[in-house]
A and B are shown apart, each in its own frame.
Chain A
Amino acid sequence: MPLEQFVPFIPEIFLAIASFVLLVGGIGLGRRGMRPLALGAVGSLVVTGILVWLFGRPAGEPEVILGGMLAIDTFAVFFKLLVLASAILTIMLATGFLERFRYGGGEFFALILTATLGMFVMASGVNLVSLYVGLELMALSSYVLVGYCKLEVKSNEGAVKYFVLGAMSSGILLYGISLVYGSLGTLDLMEIKTALVAAPQDNLVLMLGIVLMAFGMLFKVAAVPFHVWSPDAYEGAPTPVTAFISVAPKAAAFAMFLRIFAGAFSPEIDHWRSVIWLAAAMTMIFGNIAALSQDNVKRMLAYSSIAHAGYALMGVVAGTAYGTWSVLMYMLVYTFMNIGAFGLVVLLETRGYAGETVKDWAGLSKKAPAAAAGMLILLLALAGIPPTGGFMSKLYVFAAAINAGYIWLAVIGVLMSAVSLYYYFRIVVQMYLVEGEEAESGAELVRDRWAEGVVLVSVLVVMAIGVYPAPFVGWAQGGLNALGLM
C-alpha cells in the first residue's frame, strides 16, 4: 500500500491528533485553561480547513483512496468545509457558555473534533462500512455532548434517549446494509450502482434493505416518524451543543443520504421515492404544526429543525441534479441561520436554563437593538422571507420539487412555510411589540464577544446568500462533481 494515498487523508489524521492533544491538555489545564483550549480547538479546525484545501481536493477527476473506502471529490470538500464552519462557530458559542456554567472545556472540544472527524468520513465515504463507521463516530460523540452538563437532569435524560433510540436506528440501518450486501454482494457504492444499472432489481430482499437503510438515514436527519428523539435531546443538551447537533450531523447525514440514495440507489429511485415523499410531507407538516404550541424557544427551534429537514428532503425526492445541489444549498443556509438563532438563545440564557421561554425575549428591541435586529433577520431567514438566504434556499428546493413534477409536495412546503411564520413571529412580537412592564420582565443579554461574533457572522452569511446567491450556488453546483453521484 503506497504511502502517497494517505496524503489526501492528512486533514483527518491531523484532526484525530488534535482531538487527543486537546483531551490531554484539558486534563492538565483544568477549568482555567478554557480560553487557550478554545483557541487551540478553533486553531486546529482552521488548520484542518487549510489542509482540506491543500490536500483534500481532487486534482482533477474524483478519486478514491484507502482501498475504495473514501472519495476525494468536491462534494466531500463542500460538506467538510460546512461541517468545519459549524464546528468553529459552535466552539466560539460554547466557550463563554461553559465558563458561565462552570464546566471544563477539554473533553468538550475534543468531542466536537471527533464528531467532526466522523462527519468528514460521512461526507467522503463511498463504502457502506466506512460510512457506517463515520456515522457511529459522529453519533457516539454527539451522545456524550448532549449529556455534557452532567449535573442537569434534562441533559442526562436527553442523552439517554438519544443514545437508546440512536442505537435502535443504527440497528435498523445495519440490518438494511446487511440485506443489501446479501442481495448484491458488495458494499462499495460504485459497484452497487453499476450492478443496479446493469440489472434493475425488483427482488424483495434488496428493496427491504434499501427501505431499512432509508429509515436509518431518516432517523439521522430527524425526519418524521423517526424524529422522536430530537425535541428532548435538543431541549436537554447544552445550547451550543443543540446548535451543533441540529446542523452539522444533519448536514453530514444529508451528505451520506445523497451519496447512497441519489448516488448508489438512484437506478431504483422509482421504488424508494414514495417513502421519502411521504416522510418529507409528514416532516414538514408535523414539524411546523408541533412548533406552534411550544413556549420553550429551544424546543420550538428543535421542531423547526425537524421541519427544515423536511424541506431539504424535497431535493432528495426530486432525485435530479438540481434537486441534489438544492439540498447542498439548503444545508449551507440552514447551518448558518440555525447556529445564529441558537447563538442568540445562548446569549439570553443564564444558569439553570432560564431565559429559554418566548416571554424572555420581551422588549429586547429596546434593551439590545442590534441583537433584536439580528434575531429578526435570522427568523425571517428561517421563515423563508426575501431578501435573506432562507428565501433563496427554499426557492431552490421548491423549484427542484416542481421541476421534477412533485407539485403537491411543494404546495405542502409553501403552506407549511406560511404556518411557520406564526411561531417565528411570536418571538418578533415579544421583541418589538410588547411594551410596558411586560417588556421589562424579559431576560437580559449576557456579554459574550465570541458568541456575538458568531451571531454577526451568521447574519452576514445569511444576508449575503440572499442578496448575492450566485457564487454560493456555484459552489453547491460544483459539489455535483462527485464520485458515483452523477
Chain B
Amino acid sequence: MSFYDLIWLVPLFPLAGALINGLVTHQLGLKKSVANIVALIGSGLALIWGWAAVLQWYFTEDHTVSYVVKVFSWISGGDLPLLSGGTAPLEVAASYQVDPTSAVMVCFVTLVGFLIHLYSVGYMHSESDKAYSRYFSYLNLFMFAMLTLVLGSNLLVLFVGWEGVGLCSYLLIGFYYEKEWCASAGMKAFIVNRIGDFGFLLAIFFTFGWFGTLEFSELFAVLSQHHGDALVGAATIIGVLLFIGAIGKSAQIPLFVWLPDAMAGPTPVSALIHAATMVTAGVYMVARCNFFYQLSPNAMLVVAVIGGVTAIFAATIGLTQNDIKKVLAYSTVSQLGYMFLAAGVGAYIAAIFHVVTHAFFKACLFLGSGSVIHACGGEQDMRKMGGLKKYMPKTYWTFLIATIAIAGIPPLAGFVSKDAILAKAFEAGYTDLNGFGGAYYGLWILGLCGAALTAFYMFRLVFMTFDGAFRGGEEAEHHLHESPWTMTLPLQVLAFGSVIGGLLIGFPGILFHKENWNFIEGFMGPMILGAHGHGAAHAGGHAVSFGLEWALVGLSVTVAAAGILVAYRWYKTDPEFSIPNAMAERFPFAYKLLLNKYWVDELYDATIIRGTIGLARFCWEFDARVVDGVVNGTRHVTVGTSFLSGIFDLKVIDGIVNLIGTINQTASRYFRRLQVGFTQGYAMVMVFGAALLLAVFFISF
C-alpha cells in the first residue's frame, strides 16, 4: 500500500477535523486550544499526506498518465441513450486521481491552506470560543471540498467539490452574520454562483449525453482519437457551458460582482478562498477540460476575450479604490482574467502556473493586509493608514516582496508566470491562432496595459499604507504593533515562495535555449490534448524568434517599471497626493466611473433585480386586480362560482410560482373532497377506479 493509493485520505483528514470541531468542540463549547489542535492536525495531515503521495507517485509511477483511485461505485443508472446515438451505462464512481494537474494543485492547496490555518490561529484569537470553533470547522470543511475538487477524477466528483467550496465560501463570507451587510454579501456570492453552476450542470449533462462518460481520462482518450469536425459542435457547447460555470466561480465579467463583496468575510478567508484557491477553481477546471477547448476555436476565443477584458476592466477599478481589501479583490479579479487569457490562447500550463504563483503572492498580500487591519484595529481605509513600515517591519517587507512579485519585476514569481502568459498571447496573435490573430493581438495589448496598471495600483497601495506619516490619529497610532509569530511565519513562507516559486517550477528556459529547465511545462504537457490540424497552440513551439522573446520580456518589464514610477511620483514623494487629486478633479466623470466600479452593481440592481421584483409585482397586481375583478364579476354567475372562487380567494398570491402553487392547491382541495369519510364512498371510488383500469386494460388488450 502506498500513499497515493490512499489519496482519498487527503480530503478526508480535514473533513474529520471539520466534523470534530463542528459536532464536538462547537456543541460542547470547548476551548480555543482544542479547536486549534483539531484544525491544525486536520489540515496538517492533509499537507503531509498530500505531499508524500505526490512525491511517491512522481518517483514510482508513470507520470504522463492519470493514476485513478476508485473509492467506491457511487451512481449506477443503467444504460442510457446518448445524443450521439447508441447507449452507455451511467456509472459514476467516487474516485480520485493523481496526475500532473492534480499533483500541482494538491501541493499548493495543502501548503497555502495549512499556512492560512496557522495564520488564523493568531488572527481570530479575539473571537468567542463558539465562533472560533465554528470558523475552524468551516475552514477545514473548505479544505475537504477544495481537495475533492482538485483530486476528483470525473466531472461529477469535481462538481461535488465545486458546490462544497461554494457552500463554505457562503458560510465564511457571512461569518459575522449578525451584521446584515455580511449576511447579504454571503447570499450575493451564493446566488451569483448559482447562475454559473447552472451552466456547469448543463455541461455535465451534455458531456454524458455525447460521450457517455464523465471520467477525465476517458474523455481525454475519446477526444484525442477524434479526427475531423464531428465533435467540434459538441465541444463548443460543452466548453462554453463549462466556462459559464468558471465565470461564476472565478469572478469574471459579467459575474464578478460577488467577489469584492466577499471581502466581508474574515481576512484569512479572503486570502484562502477568495484569492488563492477557490476562485482559481474555474481556471483549474478549464485547464482540466482542455480537451474540449482544444477542439473548439470559438470556445477558446470566448475564454480569451472574457479573460483579457476582465483583466484590464478590474485593474482600472483597482486604481481608485481606497479600501485595502477592495484593491486586492479587484486585483484578484484582474489576475484571474490573465489566467483565463492564458487558457484562451491554449497556454493551459501557463494558466495553472500563474494560479500557483498567484496563490503565493496574493495570499501573502491578503494576509499582510489582514496583519495591517489587525494592527489598525479593524480599519480598512488606506487614507487612514500610512507609515506602518516602522511599526510592523516583517509585515512590510513580506508585503513589499509580494507586491514586487505581482507587479512583474524579474526574477520574482509573478514576473515569470505573467510574462509566460503575455508571451503566449503575443504568440497566438503572431501565429494567427485559429485565424483569430487580430483578436489575440488586441488581447495581448490589453494584457500589457493591465500589467502597467497592476504595477501602479499595487505600489499605490504599498506607499499609501506603509510610507509617509500615519494618518489615523494618535489613539490608533498607540495601538500599532507587529503581529504574533503565527501570523508572520506564514507571511514569510509565502513571501519566500513569491520570490523563488516562479523560477523553481516554471523557469523560462525558452529565453536561454534550455526548454527542458521549465519543469511545469514538461510535467503537465501530457495532460494537454495535442492539436489535430486545427491550428491550435502547440506547447513550447518556436513560433516566435529568440530576439523577439527577449524584446517582449523587455517590454513587459518596462511597462511594469513605468507603473511603479508613476505610483512613486504620485504617492511616495508627495504626502498630499496632489497629482491624483488634481486628476480626479479634472476628469470627474472618469474618476467617478472607476470609483463606483462602472456602476455595474447599480446596473444589475436596475435591470435584473428590479426586473425580477417588477415581474413578481406585476403578477401579484394581475392576480389582485384583473383576476379578482373577473372573479367579482362572475360572482353573480351561479355555475362554477364556488369552484372558481376556490382558486382565486387565496389571500397571499405573489408571483408566478405561487400561481402554480395555487392551481395545485385547488386541485388538492378538489381531490380531498373525494375523501369524504364514508366507507361506502371509498368502496365506490375503488369500484369506479377498477372499472377505469379494466377499461384501459381491455382497450389496450
Binding site for B on A (CB under 8 A): 160-161, 164-165, 168-169, 172, 202, 207, 211, 215, 219, 224-226, 228-229, 231-232, 271-272, 274-275, 278-279, 286, 289-293, 322, 392, 395-396, 399-400, 402-403, 419, 422, 468-470, 473
- CB distance A322 to B78 under 8 Å? yes
Interface centre among A161, A228, A231, A400 (most CB of B within 10 A): A228
**A279–B661 CA distance with the chains assembled, in angstroms:** 24
Chain A residues within 8 Å of B674, by CB: 228
Give 9 new A-B contacts, CB below 8 A, not counting A164-B683, A395-B77: A165-B679, A168-B683, A211-B694, A290-B672, A293-B672, A322-B78, A395-B75, A468-B74, A473-B76
- CB distance A289 to B78 under 8 Å? no
A-B contact pairs, 13 of them (CB 8 A): A211-B694, A219-B686, A225-B685, A225-B688, A225-B693, A228-B674, A228-B686, A229-B682, A275-B693, A289-B668, A290-B668, A293-B669, A468-B94
From the candidates A274, A293, A396, name the one contacting B697 in the complex (CB within 8 A).
A274
- Shortest Cβ-Cβ A-B pairs, 9 listed: A225-B689, A228-B682, A293-B668, A399-B77, A292-B668, A274-B700, A403-B78, A470-B73, A290-B671
**A271–B693 CA distance with the chains assembled, in angstroms:** 12
Residues 177-208 (chain B) with a chain A CB within 8 angstroms = none
Chain A residues within 8 Å of B94, by CB: 468
Binding site for A on B (CB under 8 A): 72-80, 90, 94, 661, 664-665, 667-669, 671-672, 674-675, 677, 679, 682-683, 685-686, 688-690, 692-694, 696-697, 700-701
From the candidates A232, A279, A289, A470, name the one contacting B74 in the complex (CB within 8 A).
A470
Chain B nearest Cβ from A274, distance in angstroms = 4
Interface centre among B73, B78, B94, B664 (most CB of A within 10 A): B78
- CB distance A207 to B701 under 8 Å? yes
**A330–B697 CA distance with the chains assembled, in angstroms:** 27
Do A469 and B74 contact each other (CB < 8 Å), given the known contacts A207-B701, A228-B682, A289-B671?
A: yes
- CB distance B667 to A289 under 8 Å? yes
From the candidates B677, B688, B689, name the one contacting A232 in the complex (CB within 8 A).
B677
Chain B residues within 8 Å of A419, by CB: 664
**A232–B671 CA distance with the chains assembled, in angstroms:** 15
Chain A residues within 8 Å of B697, by CB: 207, 211, 271-272, 274-275
Per DSSP, chain A at the interface is helix
**A422–B675 CA distance with the chains assembled, in angstroms:** 21
- CB distance B78 to A399 under 8 Å? yes
Chain A residues within 8 Å of B694, by CB: 211
Q: Which chain B residue has the least Cβ–Cβ distance from A231?
A: B675
Chain B nearest Cβ from A444, distance in angstroms = 21
**A402–B82 CA distance with the chains assembled, in angstroms:** 12
- CB distance B679 to A225 under 8 Å? no
**A232–B675 CA distance with the chains assembled, in angstroms:** 9
Q: Which chain B residue has the least Cβ–Cβ distance from A225?
A: B689
- CB distance A392 to B685 under 8 Å? no
**A224–B77 CA distance with the chains assembled, in angstroms:** 27
Chain B residues within 8 Å of A232, by CB: 675, 677
**A188–B669 CA distance with the chains assembled, in angstroms:** 45
**A293–B674 CA distance with the chains assembled, in angstroms:** 13
**A211–B697 CA distance with the chains assembled, in angstroms:** 8
Q: Which chain B residue has the least Cβ–Cβ distance from A157?
A: B677
Chain B residues within 8 Å of A215, by CB: 690, 693
Chain B residues within 8 Å of A395, by CB: 75, 77
- CB distance B675 to A228 under 8 Å? yes
Chain A nearest Cβ from B86, distance in angstroms = 14
Do A292 and B665 contact each other (CB < 8 Å), given the known contacts A215-B690, A274-B696, A274-B697?
A: yes
- CB distance A279 to B693 under 8 Å? yes
- CB distance A161 to B682 under 8 Å? yes
Chain A residues within 8 Å of B677, by CB: 232
Chain B nearest Cβ from A426, distance in angstroms = 11
Chain A residues within 8 Å of B692, by CB: 225
- CB distance B686 to A226 under 8 Å? yes
